[in-house]
Amino acid sequence: MSGAALKVMVNVFRRRTEAGETFDEVAESYPKLTDEELELIRENLYAVSD
């Protein structure tokens, strides 16, 4: 996943989790994301939130 795509996905996950969805619920909407990509998103999501 490119840096730009990662940034977009982190923003999507942030907005949706702030709206009340869990990380896993959002992830289910993107079945093509690999476990590695989801871990990168999770790491960056919480790094941005802190």
List the beta strands (DSSP E) in the chain.
none
> Where in the chain are the domains?
3-49
Low-confidence ranges of the chain (pLDDT < 70): 48-50
* Cα–Cα distance, 41 to 25 (Å, whole number): 14
The sign one gets for the Cα dihedral 46, 28, 34, 1 is negative
Residue-level pLDDT at 12: 97
Residue-level pLDDT at 48: 54
**Rounded to two decimals, what is the model's pTM?**
0.87
* Cα–Cα distance, 50 to 29 (Å, whole number): 25
Residue-level pLDDT at 50: 47
* Cα–Cα distance, 48 to 31 (Å, whole number): 23
